[in-house]
Amino acid sequence: MESWRDNRFVFWLLSLPGTFWISLFFIVPLSVLWIYSFGEKTGITDVAITWTGQNYGRVIEPVYLQIMWKSLWVSAVSTLICLLLAYPIAFAICFAPDRWKPILLLITILPFWINLLIRTYALLAVFRTNGYVNKAIGWLWNGIDWLFGGQHPFQPLELLYNNGSVIAGLVYVYLPFMVLPLYATVERLDKSYLEASLDLGASQLRTLLSVTVPLTMPGIVSGVILVFIPSLGAFLTPALLGGANAIMIGNVIETQFKSANDWPFGAALSFVLIYATFGILALRWAITARSKGVEF
């Protein structure tokens, strides 16, 4: 690596286009949004900048606080389910025979490359009242019902448009994000620690809790962040799978910009989301700085 002073021309040549692009098409738009968040709505797309704090005041109205609280717990539950599923999966892939590893890994991450909208749409189609999940449940129900005399024919369940369907959708969409960092840390984990722990008489559970989990903490933290942050700002999944019953903060922001045309309030909500994201990242930084573990 050389100092930028040794080759100023090349340094500036390489850095200018990227710096320019991010500044003009990212920092400036965000600044516009930030200024709008202190404005007042005067027309459909017109905003007067009055430096009012009113929009942030509205954010803490009970109705929006409730939606934010719901976004938080729906994301937290989705992240937890992802973690509980992905941890054993990462282990299974790491300890699989070498010829199976790349195949299993590919199968796990391939859905991540398929369009988010298409995957959500696919899930929507199987969760419908006449979709395959209902058909499978109906088949089981009718089978059991038949054994008991067939008194209660199956009524299709409304699986969509509730918090559960949103959580299922978020897990479905973001699971690969959790598996990848976990796989990376479990793969690098020195297996002799596990052998030592088992040799010294610890049970599998004790080894998991006292040896494996602490050693793979950086991967867990990375995975939790990679799933929790996009879940918190999710808009598509709750819009398609949750409908009007499971609105998250992303949907409120969308409404402000696309139909309610209250940009200043939408801008304030967007910044609350950005601050929450930065808060989570700061927390992660604090955790990794303390544990000085392997960085993903």
Site for another protein in 224-253 (CB under 8 A): 229-230, 232-233, 235-236, 240, 250, 253
Instruction: Tell me the closest approach of the beta carbon of residue 73 to another protein, in angstroms.
Output: 18
Q: Is the Cβ–Cβ distance between 281 and 225 less than 8 Å?
A: yes
Among residues 113 and 148, whose Cβ is nearest to another protein? 113
Element (H, E) at 157: none
- CB 91: neighbour CB atoms within 10 A? 17
Q: Is the Cβ–Cβ distance between 104 and 96 less than 8 Å?
A: yes
Instruction: Tell me the closest approach of the beta carbon of residue 54 to another protein, in angstroms.
Output: 18
Pairing of β 47-49 and β 39-41 = antiparallel
Site for another protein in 52-91 (CB under 8 A): 85, 88-89, 91
76, 83, 104, 137: residue in contact with another protein (rule CB under 8 A): 104
How many chain residues interact with another protein (CB under 8 A)?
85
> Binding of another protein at residue 284 (CB under 8 A)?
no
230: tokens are: 């996009």
Among residues 17 and 150, whose Cβ is nearest to another protein? 17
Site for another protein in 173-212 (CB under 8 A): 175, 191, 194-195, 198, 204
Q: How many residues does the chain have?
A: 296
Binding region for another protein (CB under 8 A) out of 6-14, 51-59, 137-145, 214-222? 6-14
| Half-sphere exposure (Cβ direction) of 233: Cα atoms closer than 13 Å | 15
H-type helices in 23-61, by residue range? Answer: 28-36, 54-59
Q: Is 47 helix (H, G, I), strand (E, B) or coil?
A: strand
Phi and psi at 41, nearest 5°, equal -75, 125
Binding region for another protein (CB under 8 A) out of 24-32, 54-62, 149-157, 214-222? 24-32
> Binding of another protein at residue 259 (CB under 8 A)?
no
Instruction: Tell me the closest approach of the beta carbon of residue 267 to another protein, in angstroms.
Output: 7
Q: Is 39 helix (H, G, I), strand (E, B) or coil?
A: strand
Instruction: Tell me the closest approach of the beta carbon of residue 162 to another protein, in angstroms.
Output: 18
48, 60, 103, 110: residue in contact with another protein (rule CB under 8 A): 110
Element (H, E) at 262: none
Among residues 63 and 118, whose Cβ is nearest to another protein? 118
124: tokens are: 């929507």
> Binding of another protein at residue 257 (CB under 8 A)?
yes
Instruction: Tell me the closest approach of the beta carbon of residue 144 to another protein, in angstroms.
Output: 21
| Half-sphere exposure (Cβ direction) of 245: Cα atoms closer than 13 Å | 11
- CB 222: neighbour CB atoms within 10 A? 21
Evaluated on CA atoms 117, 118, 120, 121, the torsion sign reads positive
Site for another protein in 31-50 (CB under 8 A): 32-33, 36, 45
> Binding of another protein at residue 271 (CB under 8 A)?
yes
